[in-house]
Amino acid sequence: MGSSKAINSDFEKYILNNLDRALEEEWIKAYHQPLIRAANGRVSDEEAFARWETPDGDVYSASLFVPILEKHNLTYKLDLYMVDRVLKKLKGQASHDLFIVPESVNLSGTDFKCCDMVTEITKLIDKSGLPREKLCIELSEKDISSDMDYYKDIIERFRSAGIKVWMDNYGSGYASLLILLKIHFDLLKINDAFTHLIGKDEAGQILLTEVVKTALSLGTDTVAEGIETKEQADFLTEIGCTKLQGYYYIHPVSLAEIVERNEKGIQIGFENPEESSYFEQVGKINLYDLSLSQNDDKPLSDYFDATPMVIFSMGKDKATFVRCNKSFRNFILKKFPEFKEINEIDYSSINPGVGYYSFNAARQCAADGRRVIIDDRMNDGRIVQLLMFRIAVNPVTGDAAVATVILSVSEPDSKDSLTYNYIARALSEDYITLFFVDMDNDSFTEYSSHGESRDISFERKGSNFFDLDKDNIDPPIIEEDKEQFKKLFTKEIVASELEKSGIYSVVTRMLIKGVPTFVTVKAVKVKGKGNHVIIGINNVDAQIKARELLEHAKEEEIIYSRIGALSGNYIYIFSVDPVTGHYNKYIPSNKRVATELPEEGDDFFGDMIKITPKVVYPDDVDGMLSAFTKEKVMKHVRSAGVFEHHHRLIYGNSFIYVSLRAVMDNKADDEKLIVGILDIDEIVRREQEYNENLYAAENKAIIDELTGVKNKHAYVETELMMNKMISDGTVEDFALAVFDLNGLKQVNDTLGHQAGDEYIQKGCSTICSFFKHSPVFRIGGDEFVAIIQGLDYLNSSSIMTKLKKHNIKNQYKGDVVVAAGLSKYTKGDKTLSQIFERADKEMYKNKNEIKQHNK
């Protein structure tokens, strides 16, 4: 059948007449294109593509036949078929000892007209035995924009069921940024039109950067589609785009090709799911978004001329380059060209001398996570100032990602210049004017800050600095404050304060651009030879006025009325204007939890959506985002008088239980929504303790007291239940493993029964650590059984291999050795005991192998 049929009615008839047969006989194949994690170059996710391959050898891409199916509302058949194919592919992938990463399936908008896709897809996933988070759903920007409220409900149902939702083709022209505020997506797939602007359109690159920043600020990952060049991949990595997709990496491939590439050693490699969170944090750092590098007056052409920044992974023995921005690359090429090709630095190669202090500071930052600003001297005498902060720690390797920012490189010995390096240490960076004053003779040099690079420039020299009648200080002090300032700002008082506390500071008002403005006049002593001080003038007008406004608000009786609208042990109370969204936060308790919650803002619900992933316990984030929308809160408050939602807030390394309550206060002239966060932790934990005690009492009869796993009585009950499920034909795939601890008798005879008990406990811990997702039973003194299921079942072969290697190591160390045998359930098995007998034989075979190895 020729490709010309794709454009006529005969082709349409062919597709419609053969769809069911194509699905039944698997003419439609699933191909898989990876999403590459920018931070590690590994496959973090995959996307499934459908391709119609006829027995005659004709091949049709989805773009040819899907529009026909959409026209006739038949896409739901194809999409459910693709979900099933992807789930089978993931299980097949696991059987080849490959990590399983999430994979997405594209759904058409017409699917939801024909059936309940959320329910149908959830059933398919649960039937497969895979975790729900392993399948993701893609919905196009075009479909979602056609009826946002309709799709918002669908998306919330998917996410509540534990299935992540991606928006595909964002930026294709159908939606605005507002869609990201109304609907929370787990991942935003950016249209390849943006990607093609890289290296060609500076304004387009800026727009792309802002889209990525906005998505990340809302807690949404990003992937750029259509990557074709290294330049595109490097740029997207620098701006914090977390994932990349395109032919630059690989075209869509079949499972067979994935396995073949892995066997040949030419695979990209799948990401270890246990490391995903670490690389997510590393990848989200935008190397062009460090706040201290931004300047509102920069023209567009200088948008990416940012402070040099690099990220290294600090391991046990070496530091590995992760990524850097263009400014850092240029800095290295100019200052240290000999290091431009170095990607790894062995710690053993770093010796005391130039750079040793910075090296130790980076390692210390990796270890303790404390942000530091340091000065270090380069081999030519220049001073470099560095900011270092830890991004995240890899839970598998223990490596820590540390970002290093070059704040300045200066010449400290210059007589006519004051380096930004020293000023950054001495004063805050929002200074207006700086004076370098000789306290012995009152001579001074004035400097000012201006220009896109925030450089310091020389203005003038002068004498008699403290003679305020000469108007040495510019901008001028307003007349009303001048006399008081003269009394406070004398050479004697400044010197005395510097001697006592090392710093002098006074607030006054100056005339800046004709407007009286609050400023702080701050002085610090200069380290080194001579008796010099730096005196800086900082604009603090906004802070002072904000403080006055807050103090005024606290005096208002209306605040007490609003706080009185709620009662209980409240951590925070928010007063919200339901019309404008403006809000203020009040703190009636001393409990410091979720301190990231803003003090004030103009979009209460929008700000809460942004901050939720940072302050709410991870398992409760989705529920909170779903429930706490303006529409739902106001609806409940209007109808029931109160809105209430229980969840957990992050509290140090743990969490506390809270209740969020909202009521409307109509006591004032203007209506206010009062939202309070109530501490209910003690109540909830008391209830949990009661339930746990009750549970412990009920389960004491089936728990082995020595090891804490289930006992033989529990195994007998489980065996009866499994036999019934086998008889009914309702049992899912599983295996049974039998274990025996070698050498227990010798331990008991030589070291005593207490040592023997410890030996049993250690052996049990070994079994549980290898089969983390399966129930373990102690059925005899040194005998254990595990019913292998779920992920343990999928990875059973590799787990048994790892256990055997573990035993070999323990033999050499004289530690616990666990003989093991495993057998899988087959359709011919009638009872669990049949599987047990096979596993028991395998265990004794392994036991003999271990004895032979000892010889």
| CA atoms of 535 and 436, how far apart (whole Å) | 7
Enumerate helices (H) and strands (E) in the chain, giving the number of each: 30, 31
Tell me what pLDDT residue 520 has.
86
Residue whose C-alpha is closest to residue 596's, from 217, 279, 295: 217
Residue whose C-alpha is closest to residue 415's, from 377, 448, 458: 458
Tell me if residue 576 falls in helix, strand or coil. Answer: strand
352 upstream amide cis, omega within 30 of 0: no
Select, from the ranges 28-42, 323-337, 742-756, the one with the highest average predicted confidence (pLDDT): 28-42
The answer on pLDDT for 447 being more than 70 is: yes
CA-CA-CA-CA torsion for 8, 13, 14, 17, nearest 10 degrees?
A: 170
In sequence order, the 6+-apart residues with CB closer than 8 A to the CB of 550 are none
| Residue 30 or residue 302, greater confidence | 30
Please report how many Cα atoms fall inside a 13 Å half-sphere around the Cα of residue 172, on the Cβ side: 17
| CA atoms of 155 and 314, how far apart (whole Å) | 39
The answer on pLDDT for 353 being more than 80 is: no
Instruction: Please give the mean pLDDT across all residues of the chain.
Output: 84
Give per-residue burial for 678-696: e unless 16+ CB within 10 Å, then b: bbbbeebeeeeeeeeeeee
The answer on pLDDT for 812 being more than 90 is: no
For the residues of 88-101, what is the DSSP string, one character each?
HHHHHHHHTTPPP-
Token pair recorded at residue 84: 């099933």
CA 671 from chain centre, in angstroms, equals 38
Token pair recorded at residue 765: 């811990």
What letter does residue 729 receive in the DSSP assignment?
A: T
Q: Which of 404-418, 477-491, 608-622, 724-738 has the lowest mean pLDDT?
A: 404-418
Q: Contact, 448 vs 434, CB < 8 A? A: yes
Predicted confidence band of residue 565 (pLDDT cuts 50, 70, 90): very low
| CA atoms of 154 and 107, how far apart (whole Å) | 12
- What is the architecture of the domain spanning 703-854? 2-Layer Sandwich (3.30)
Token pair recorded at residue 767: 């079994």
Predicted confidence band of residue 24 (pLDDT cuts 50, 70, 90): very high
Element (H, E) at 482: helix 479-488
Q: What are phi and psi of 577, to 5 degrees?
A: -80, 110
Tell me what pLDDT residue 336 has.
74
| Residue 94 or residue 548, greater confidence | 94
Handedness of CA 260, 263, 265, 271 (dihedral sign): positive
Q: What are phi and psi of 244, to 5 degrees?
A: -135, 145
Predicted confidence band of residue 549 (pLDDT cuts 50, 70, 90): low
- State which fold the 420-545 domain adopts: Beta-Lactamase (3.30.450)
Residue whose C-alpha is closest to residue 173's, from 190, 149, 155, 152: 190
Alpha helices in 662-743 (DSSP H): 681-699, 712-728
| CA atoms of 584 and 322, how far apart (whole Å) | 41
The answer on pLDDT for 2 being more than 70 is: no
Q: Contact, 339 vs 324, CB < 8 A? A: no
| CA atoms of 382 and 384, how far apart (whole Å) | 7
Q: Which of 71-80, 334-343, 400-409, 804-813 has the lowest mean pLDDT?
A: 334-343
- What is the architecture of the domain spanning 291-410? 2-Layer Sandwich (3.30)
299 upstream amide cis, omega within 30 of 0: no
The answer on pLDDT for 563 being more than 70 is: no
The answer on pLDDT for 843 being more than 60 is: yes
Tell me what pLDDT residue 413 has.
54
Residue with tokens 């920069």: 298
What letter does residue 703 receive in the DSSP assignment?
A: B
Query: How far is CA 526 from each of CA 426, 437, 456, rounded to the nearest angstrom?
Result: 8, 10, 17
Please report how many Cα atoms fall inside a 13 Å half-sphere around the Cα of residue 454, on the Cβ side: 21
Q: Contact, 214 vs 180, CB < 8 A? A: yes
Tell me if residue 249 falls in helix, strand or coil. Answer: coil
Give the residue extent of every domain in the chain: 3-265+272-283, 291-410, 420-545, 556-686, 703-854
Token pair recorded at residue 344: 């790894």
| CA atoms of 250 and 262, how far apart (whole Å) | 14
Residue whose C-alpha is closest to residue 403's, from 412, 413, 411, 392: 392
| CA atoms of 775 and 771, how far apart (whole Å) | 8
514: left (phi over 0), alpha (psi -120 to 50) or beta: left
Tell me what pLDDT residue 463 has.
87
E strand spans, 229-278: 243-244
Q: What are phi and psi of 164, to 5 degrees?
A: -75, 150
291-410 and 420-545 have identical folds: yes
Residue whose C-alpha is closest to residue 399's, from 312, 324, 270, 323: 312
| % of the chain exceeding 70 in pLDDT | 87
- State which fold the 556-686 domain adopts: Beta-Lactamase (3.30.450)
Give per-residue burial for 790-814: e unless 16+ CB within 10 Å, then b: bbbbbbbeebbeebeebbeebeeee
Tell me what pLDDT residue 612 has.
92
| CA atoms of 533 and 426, how far apart (whole Å) | 10
Tell me if residue 214 falls in helix, strand or coil. Answer: helix
CA 697 from chain centre, in angstroms, equals 40
Predicted TM-score (pTM) of the model is: 0.48
Query: How far is CA 123 from each of CA 132, 133, 382, rounded to the nearest angstrom?
Result: 10, 14, 66
Tell me if residue 5 falls in helix, strand or coil. Answer: helix
Token pair recorded at residue 177: 């940024």
| CA atoms of 504 and 537, how far apart (whole Å) | 12
Mean pLDDT of 775-790: 93
CA-CA-CA-CA torsion for 282, 285, 291, 293, nearest 10 degrees?
A: 100
Predicted confidence band of residue 299 (pLDDT cuts 50, 70, 90): very low
Q: Contact, 31 vs 252, CB < 8 A? A: yes
Token pair recorded at residue 223: 């992937």
Q: Which of 281-285, 380-384, 401-405, 752-756 has the lowest mean pLDDT?
A: 380-384
Predicted confidence band of residue 300 (pLDDT cuts 50, 70, 90): very low
Rounded to whole angstroms, the maximal C-alpha distance in the chain is: 104
3-state helix, strand, coil in the chain (%, to 5): 45, 25, 30
Token pair recorded at residue 538: 């900082």
| CA atoms of 637 and 632, how far apart (whole Å) | 9
| CA atoms of 301 and 201, how far apart (whole Å) | 10
E strand spans, 228-326: 243-244, 309-314, 318-324
| CA atoms of 584 and 607, how far apart (whole Å) | 12
| Residue 371 or residue 175, greater confidence | 371
Mean pLDDT of 260-289: 85
For the residues of 805-821, what is the DSSP string, one character each?
HHHHHHHHHT---EEEE
| CA atoms of 739 and 762, how far apart (whole Å) | 13
What letter does residue 840 receive in the DSSP assignment?
A: H
> Exposed/middle/buried for 634, CB within 10 Å: 0-12, 13-18, 19+?
middle
CB count in 10 Å sphere of residue 95: 13
* Residues counted in the chain: 855
Element (H, E) at 135: strand 135-140
Superfamily of 3-265+272-283 according to CATH: EAL domain (3.20.20.450)
Mean pLDDT of 708-712: 91
Q: Are strands 43-53 and 59-61 parallel, antiparallel or unpaired?
A: antiparallel
